[in-house]
Structure 1
Amino acid sequence: MNEESRIALLIDAENISAQYADYIMDEVSNYGTCSYKRIYGSWDRIVKTKWEGEINKNSLKPMMQFNNTRGKNASDSALIIDAMDILYTGYVDGFCIVSSDSDFTALARRLMEAGMMVIGMGESDKATEALENAYDKFVYIDVLATQAEEEKAEEKKAQAQAAKASNTRQKQSQTQTQSRNNAGSIPSKKTLENRITQIIKENDDKSKLTDLGQIGNELNRIFKNFDVRYYGRKGGRKYKYLKDFVKDIKSLQLDETEGNRVYVSLKK
């Protein structure tokens, strides 16, 4: 999707913390423009809570519900009904559903069947594998938030050190980095390297070159929660682009053509 794509952003306030609001808005902007920005929850989960301030700040439309029956979540039903209504208007190109609730698995599948691009966002320790696989892509919003906060802390630390003319830098904790990389079911670097190698060998058997774009598409198809931003590089920073991630794999070689096409092959 590009910046001209129209996205319906639907947030389950009863399942996602307001602390992730800014990260949600930043992430969804990568896929297009929000034609709908709605948030669902019971009155007590929105009014006089942190979500109330985020609603005004990010211009979200609150769709508050009353749970008429104990044990039944009216907000989930309202979100599903609205999603189908929006689908039939034909005014959007895709959906972003923000919730770790597995009850939305069937909804995600139905929207994909209708030809929609469907993005999911949730927390790494709550989302099930079945929920993640129901989406075109599933983003661990808690992992991205943690990394963003750590990068901010690192920047402040670096500024303080520069002001004091310090010649030393403290290394980021490798233990914390490894812990973040293992959040949820994020595939290991070795698993990704093996899959990329397999893709290249399959293309070699057909006398075909392996385009970097094909690798990105295949990794996203197989690992719905794959995102290079989850992985650390030398110095403790995170990758931003697939090209840099693949380039750092010692067994692979990148070749760029004059037309800015990037091909990947096995080092000999």
Structure 2
Amino acid sequence: MAKPHDLLAVLVDADNVSPAKIGAVLTEIARFGTASVKRVYGDWTRPELSSWKHAASEHVIQPMQQFANTTGKNATDSALIIDAMDLLYTRRFQGFCIVSSDSDFTRLASRIREEGITVYGFGERKTPEAFRNACDQFTYLEVLDAPAAESAATAPVPTRTPTPKLRADTKLVSGLRAAVDAASGEDGWADLGAVGQFMRKQHPDFDSRNWGYAKLSDLVRATELFLVGPRPQGGLQMRKRGNGS
């Protein structure tokens, strides 16, 4: 889906995201393209956002000031949404990265996608399903590698889910089986990359790291319900176990 030369607009809700995570977020975003615009929104007169000063400077993110004219975060959210629409109408970007756990950006994500532009969402596991599903791809902050300065106590590494629990995860298993059926040829083998793409289309927050596995192939093998092998033309393929296999 993404290409290395894709231009991306990165919009961060400072009220909703810890600055300790932004380095890992930007590293992840680099997989999808070039972060041409990087902006972080908040009321910088608030003491609780002071820790963002160093992070914004280190990662060359432009702080966007929005005074909280009323109680709550609506002013900041509105500023981010207005800027996103202005950037969208420039037709310069192939993707937008919205970094927030706030459901207020659900319609924004949907509107950007209506223009045929890819939306990458980043937020905590508490992010409402509506916003997650409005994105083309959604990544949980908890699965991203923490900066070196962050301690293990503040950035726990996801534990690998054991095989019995993976098999009991009906949503995962049924999704993988459906993806293999959709992507497989007459011989029952399906390209692993195509399976991953199908899963993400059905569930934008699908990510093997959610179960503690760095790669989709590792997760698939761990279920012990599928065979994984090399494709003749390169890469990996998978199929459902059966017929004595």
Q: CA RMSD in A?
A: 3.1
CA distance in 2 between counterparts of 1:123 and 1:258 reads 39
Q: Which letter does structure 2 place at the counterpart of 1:210? A: A
> How is 1:34-45 mapped onto 2 (pairs within 5 angstroms)?
34-45=35-46
The residue number in structure 2 matching 1:135 is 135
Residues 85, 46 of structure 1: alpha-carbon distance in 2 compared, 3 angstrom cutoff: farther
The 5 A counterparts of 1:209-220 are 209-220=189-200
Q: Which stretches in structure 1 are left out of the alignment for 5+ residues?
A: 154-171, 182-186, 233-238
Report the alpha carbon displacement of residue 130 of structure 1 after superposing the two structures with TM: 0.7
In 2, Cα distance between equivalents of 1:253 and 1:240: 18
Residues 11-42 of structure 1: CA deviation (Å, up to 9, x unaligned): 00011121212112112111111110001001
Structure 2 CA distance for aligned equivalents of residues 64 and 177 of structure 1: 38
Could you tell me whether the CA contact under 8 Å between 2:139 and 2:205 is conserved in 1?
yes
Indicate the SS of the match to 2:234.
coil
Q: Per the alignment, in what secondary structure is the counterpart of residue 43 of structure 1?
A: coil
2-structure distance, mates of 1:133, 1:195: 16
Counterparts in 2 of 1:114 and 1:203: CA distance versus 1, 3 Å? closer
Long gaps (5+) in structure 2: 162-166
User: How far apart are residue 152 of structure 1 and its match?
Assistant: 8.0
Note closer, same or farther for the CA distance 1:47–1:102 as it changes in structure 2 (3 Å cut).
closer
User: Is the counterpart of residue 247 in structure 1 residue 221 in structure 2?
Assistant: yes
| CA offset digits 1:45-81 (Å, max 9, x no partner) | 4797110111110111011011233446221111111
Distance (Å, rounded) in 1 between the aligned partners of 2:49 and 2:106: 30
Give the structure 1 partner of residue 111 of structure 2.
110
Contact 1:14–1:45 (CA<8 Å) still a contact in 2?
Answer: no
1:83-142 deviations in Å (ceiling 9; x for gaps): 0111111111100001111110000000000111101111112x1011110101111113
Cα pair 1:4 1:33 within 8 Å, conserved: yes
Partner of residue 4, structure 1: 5
Determine which of 259, 265, 268 is the counterpart of 2:233.
259
Per the alignment, residue 184 of structure 1 pairs with: none
Deviations 1:171-191 (A, max 9, x none): x99xx837xx6xxxxx97553
1:69 is aligned with what amino acid?
A: T
Aligned length: 233
**Structure whose residues are more often helix by fraction:** 1
2:27 paired with 1:26: yes
Whether 1:222 aligns to 2:223 is: no
Q: Does 1:177 align with 2:159?
A: yes
Tell whether 2:102 aligns with 1:120: no
TM-score (norm 1): 0.76
TM normalised by structure 2 equals 0.83
- Aligned-pair identity in percent equals 37
Offset at 1:244? 2.6
Q: 1:255 aligns to what SS in structure 2?
A: strand
* CA deviation after TM superposition for structure 1 residue 5, in Å: 0.9
Aligned to 2:84, the other structure's residue is in SS state: helix
> Which one has the largest radius of gyration?
1
Q: 1:49 to 1:204 in 2, by over 3 A?
A: closer
